[in-house]
Amino acid sequence: MIIACPACSTRYVVPDSAIGVDGRTVRCAKCRHSWFQAGPELAPRPDAPVMPVPEMAAASAPVTPSPGSAPADGGFAPSESGRVPSPPGDVAPPVPPVAPASTAAGLAEEGPSPFAHEPPFRPRRNPLKLWTIAGVVFALVVAALIGAVSYFGLPDWLPVAKQTFGPTRPDLELSFPAERQDRRTLPNGTEYFGASGTITNVGKDVREVPPILIVLRDGQNRVVYTWNVIPPKDVLKPGESETINEAVTDVPKTAKFAEIGWKPE
């Protein structure tokens, strides 16, 4: 039979035995509304077939049999209403009573219903789909990190070896001999460091001169002090040289030696 929820009009197809002939209280699995559902209507019992009256031999005087008496030839005598009763062998068997089910599928008061709007079980996870989503997220994160490093550079806290100096410049040579580096303490206790050297254009073209970077390191080769030097000339002609003399005070006392190169871009 088909029943419908009076509140949300959701239709359910349930067996007749789930409701029973006496009906029962059910609850909608979608909106949780409860109502009394009447039982299915039983089909009417068919009437007994009317048996034809057997022909009897003609007599000079018709004999009217008394009600309830059987004819002499073994036939069936008609009743007072004129209908012949059905023989005992043709009586339809009684319809067995249908016991109401204790729990109707989809209409039980407790437990999940197979007629619910959503299945009462979790959908099965697809490992391939999960790995695909994870791969896409990982690719997006890596792309974002690469873009950030390209734009902002590596952070200072990252334990990655960084390039101290910029690349070599074509046709430009730096010459800062160690003997021309002056590291001492002044009489007033100030720490002093001076460096002297040259920049030479050994090529045949005019070259632009970029800034110079001076790096002071301690005995464990750690950078303790840096400063930039702007050359007096921006360009050098072929074969031309420029002398650099730079000094700085208040350098760390742990500074032992200097390294000089091109400033990284």
Taken in order of first residue, the domains within the chain and their CATH numbers are 1-43+97-134 (no CATH), 172-262 (2.60.40.10)
The predicted pLDDT at position 250 comes to 85
Buried b (16+ CB within 10 A) or exposed e, 183-220: eeeeeeeebebebbbebebebeeebebbebbbbbbeee
pLDDT in tens, 20-71: 788 888 888 888 899 888 887 765 666 656 566 555 444 444 545 555 444 4
Report the pLDDT averaged over residues 256-265: 87
pLDDT of residue 209: 92
pTM of the model: 0.40
Please report the pLDDT score of residue 160 as a whole number. Answer: 52
Per-chain mean pLDDT for the chain: 75
- Cβ contact 258:216 at 8 Å: yes
Separation CA 141–CA 249 (nearest Å): 46
Tens of pLDDT, residue by residue over 133-159, are 999 999 999 999 888 877 766 665 665
